[in-house]
Structures are given as C-alpha cells and as structure tokens.
Amino acid sequence: MSTTSSQHVQNLVDHLFRHEAGKMVAVLTRLLGTENLDAAEDIVQDTLLKAMEVWRFRGVPENPPAWLYKVAHNKAIDWVRSAQRKSKLLAEEEKVKSSLNLLRSEVVYQED
Amino acid sequence: MLIFHGGSDVAPEMKNPEALQKHMGKWFAWVEKLRKEGRYEGGEPLEPRGKFVSGPNKIVTDGPFAESKELVGGYFIVNAKDLDDAVALTADYPDFIFNGKVQIRPIQKMEM
C-alpha cells in the first residue's frame, strides 16, 4: 500500500474525529439545549463509534460529514423522544403520588 | 468472499479510543486501496449478536457471543482470479496483529 493513500485516509479520519466532532457537539447542543451538553457529547461519541464499525467494511462514504450528521441527527431525535417519554413518566408518577397523598390525607381525615 | 473472524472486534487494546481510531484508519485505507484497484465489490459489518437454529427440532440457542474469539465481524466481496489471488488481497488485512483470521471462500458462479 502506498503510504500516501494510507496517510491521506488517516488524516481525513483525524480531521473528522477532531474537528467535525467538536462542531457536531456544538450543533447538537443548540438542538438539545446547553443543559444537555453531556447528552450531545455522548451522541457524537456514539456516532463516531458507529462510523468506525460501518466504514471499516463499507469504506468511508463519499461525503463523510454528511453521513456523520445524519446519524447524529437520528440519534438526537431518539434521545429527545426517550427524554420526553421519561419526563412524561415522571409527570405521571408525580400525579399518582399526589393523588395517593390526597387519598391518604382523606383517609387520615376520615379516621379523625 | 473474505469472512473476518475475531481480530480487533475482540481485542482489549481497542477499548482505547485513540488506538481504535488509528486502527480503523488502517481498515479504511485498505478498503480504499481495494476499491481503487477495482477489487472491492462490497462489504458489511455484522452486529455482535445472533441466534442459532438447529436440527429437526429447530432448537433455538443464543450466540455467537460478542466475546467469542471466532466471532465473524463482517465480510468483503472481492474480485479475485483464484484462491491464491484472493490470499494475496489479504496482505494488508489490519487485524493479523490481533490474531484475526480471514476465511476465503469462492462464491459459486451460476453458469447459464
């Protein structure tokens, strides 16, 4: 293998994983809110791992940043959905808890 | 067809993100080289999970498992004149250093 071609690919990967990763975190943070920086970083990390798994056997796609953004975007949507589900569940739990409390206080009231 | 067993999929060294990225760069370069030479036809990664179904009773069992040293991580379809030619194509297979193994199998051609 010519070292230049191998070096070229290595440089491309370095560039994508260093620079593009930072940009992706910034884009995702804007999408998810600054309070969810951790989630944005996790999603980007996941996306890069996925890229390595898949590109290894399929080769690096024609437009690597587009591929990365598409995967990260889908993962972000999944994250938002599951966060929504979780907060809905939490809200349900709160509702149940407060009705239980209400019930309890009524029971106590009746016992009085 | 080149079927890849074990190698970096099960190598503990690949838990380090820097090392992983560097090693995957070798894979990307290898695919790129095969593609440029008109040898690469396609390939896919396989997920590290699955089921076996066997025998007249169609017994379903778990496996192969991600830890298995012989786990097939993916495959390439390549153009080769004969088996020796296909063996030569594996010269740059990056996972030999992790005791990876390549199974080389000619795909039966249908003569019509």
- List all residues 6 or more positions away from B56 whose beta carbon is below 8 Å from its beta carbon: none
The position carrying tokens 């998810």 is A32
Distance from CA of A108 to the nearest CA of B (A): 54
Secondary structure of chain B in the HEC alphabet?
Answer: CEEEECHHHCCHHHHCHHHHHHHHHHHHHHHHHHHHCCCEEEEEECCCCCEEEECCCCEEEECCCCCCCCCEEEEEEECCCCHHHHHHHHHHCHHHHHCCEEEECCCCCCCC
Q: Which residues of B36-47 are buried (b: 16+ CB within 10 A; e: fewer)?
A: eeebbeebebbe
pLDDT band at B15 (very low <50, low <70, confident <90, very high): confident
- Taking contacts as CB-CB distances below 8 angstroms, the residues of chain A near B43 are 57-59
Banded pLDDT at B105 (limits 50, 70, 90): very high
What does the pLDDT average to over B16-45? 93
- The ipTM (two decimal places) reads 0.87
Across residues B17-33, what is the average pLDDT? 91
Residues in chain A with pLDDT < 50? 1-2
Please give the tally of structural domains in chain A. Answer: 1
A–B CB contacts, 8 A cutoff, strictly below: 66
- pLDDT tens digit string along B46-95? 998 999 999 999 999 998 888 888 899 999 999 999 999 999 999 999 99
Residue A94's CB is within 10 A of a number of other CB atoms, namely: 10
| Summary mean pLDDT of chain B | 93
Domain that holds residue A81: 3-111
Q: How high is the pLDDT of residue B56? A: 97
* Section B20-41 average pLDDT: 94
Name chain B contacts of A14, Cβ cutoff 8 Å. 21, 25
How far off is chain A from B56, nearest CA to CA, in Å? Answer: 35
Best residue in A13, A19, A56 for a mutation probing chain B (most B CBs within 10 Å)? A56
| Residue B90 to residues A28, A97, A103, B38, Cα–Cα distance (Å) | 40, 63, 72, 15
Using alpha carbons, select from B108, B86, B90, B107 the residue that is nearest to residue B5: B90
- Say what the pLDDT of residue A1 is: 46
Is A9 within 8 Å of B43 when comparing Cβ atoms? no
Instruction: Please tell me the predicted confidence (pLDDT) of residue A89.
Output: 87
Chain B: residue nearest A8 by CA? B29
Q: What mean pLDDT do residues B89-107 have?
A: 96
Q: For chain B, which domains are there?
A: 2-104 (3.30.70.1060)
